[in-house]
Chain A
Amino acid sequence: MLVLITYDVNTQTKDGSRRLRKVAKACENVGQRVQNSVFECLLEPAQWVELKDKLLNLADMEKDSLRFYYLGKNWQRRIEHFGSKPSYDPEGPLIV
């Protein structure tokens, strides 16, 4: 399934910047950065549970926010992209 993850991390403090880096790193390890603070992750349900737990632990719920959108199995028809920085299709042919 594909999960869209977006986040807002408050970076007013040094600790905030640290959290932002950690959240971004966790997302980059499993998914594709499609815009700033927006990630698309193709995951198995078990992997998702793990990632979600990790993210919720990293973020500070008082100051930051996380939003998860579940796009399911047929995510291809739910996404349209316009403009620069086109993304790759993780299930399509990958040839570079």
Chain B
Amino acid sequence: MKRMLNTLFVTTQGAYLSKKGDTVLVNIDREVKLRVPIHTLSQITCFGQISMSPFLMGLCGEKGVSVSFLTENGRFLARVNGPVSGNVLLRKAQFEFQQKNGKTSKLAGKFVTAKIANYRAVLQRALRDNPENKSDELNKASKYMKSSAFVALESESLDIIRGIEGEAARTYFSVFDHLILCQKEDFKFTSRSKRPPLDKINAMLSFAYTLLVNDVRSALESVGLDPAVGFLHSLRPGRPSLALDIMEELRPIFGDRLILSLINRKQITSSGFKKTESGAVEMNEETRKLLINAYQKRKQDEIIHPFTKEKIKFGLLPHLQAMLLARFLRAEMEDYPPYFWK
């Protein structure tokens, strides 16, 4: 199995990244703050005012390190990639599969089923940990997840699958507030809001999802799939549809669970946020770093993959799922096995 490589996050405003030999130098105020050998990295993610020398970009391209630039709040700006990697034949198979109407819905159904099942796992876990906490509503939602996961698996129509997904997500987020056990007053969740997020939890969810979509996108690219050609999400210019597809199964684990733990363990408090004039809620730099830190630590945890039975680090999951999908598209496998969290 591939070794999980690290991601370098640069959040200090005004930092300048340059190349020295085979290493990445992070300069802050003309002082070298960090020197990292490139072979230990798979990604560099920059937030806000960060600059980078073209020679470093060249080195990253050559070594297959993907570089992304995001705004301070995590909105995607740009990405620097080296030469196209992977196999044309795989990409061709992916495009052909996308054209076949009946077949895409089956794959889309898999993504949605896994997403809903993993939503249910989050709810079940809350029920197990805290049996007295609003268990009626959680139980009801959990039962609903179970039935709709089965419906999604059986459905033939893409529209129906998308509908089931939307309804399940709505039900899940309607009980999401019950999963917050500490600091309930400061962290109130009513509904999902994005662009811009209107409360603290939404701000954190959106940020964690951005980190995840970046990881999934890089994983797809390194396997040789085209991240823009998705099956569940419709094709739109500039949208990484396939990354969003694969991400669906991983959202509850990498995003929701992570944020719940941070709040419930009181690692993040309400003082780490600010509200802008437009009503958008943003994290301050410290909170952002805390979240990245927790996200990166999560990736180090080890799991046994239910399908390959291999012991892997959590962070390799996007890569493994991308590989399984590639095998399925090449018709080396009967079916694509999505990831079910336990």
Contact = CB atoms under 8 A, between A and B. Distances in A.
B296 A31 contact: no
B262 to A, nearest CB: 14
Contacts of A93: 9, 292-293, 296-297
A32 B296 contact: no
Contacts of B36: 32, 88, 90, 94
Nearest to A89: B6
Given A96-B15, A96-B33, A96-B34, A91 B6 contact: yes
Interface residues of B, number: 27
Given A90-B40, A91-B6, A93-B293, A32 B12 contact: no
A42 B297 contact: no
Interface string B292-316: 1100110010000000000000000
A42 B6 CA distance: 12
A93 B28 CA distance: 19
Nearest to B11: A95
B267 to A, nearest CB: 14
Nearest to A25: B21
Contacts of A96: 8-12, 15, 26, 28, 33-34
Interface residues of A: mostly helix, strand, loop or mixed? mixed
Interface residues of A, number: 20
Contacts of A15: none
A28 B28 contact: no
B28 A94 contact: no
A88 B34 contact: yes
Given A31-B37, A42-B40, A88-B34, A94 B6 contact: yes
B79 to A, nearest CB: 19
B39 interface: yes
A92 interface: yes
B45 to A, nearest CB: 10
A53 interface: no
3 tightest CB-CB pairs across the interface, nearest first?
A: A93-B296, A29-B22, A29-B21
Given A95-B289, A96-B8, 19 more contacts: A28-B21, A28-B23, A28-B35, A29-B37, A31-B37, A32-B36, A41-B37, A42-B37, A42-B40, A44-B3, A90-B40, A92-B296, A92-B297, A94-B6, A94-B7, A95-B296, A96-B10, A96-B26, A96-B34
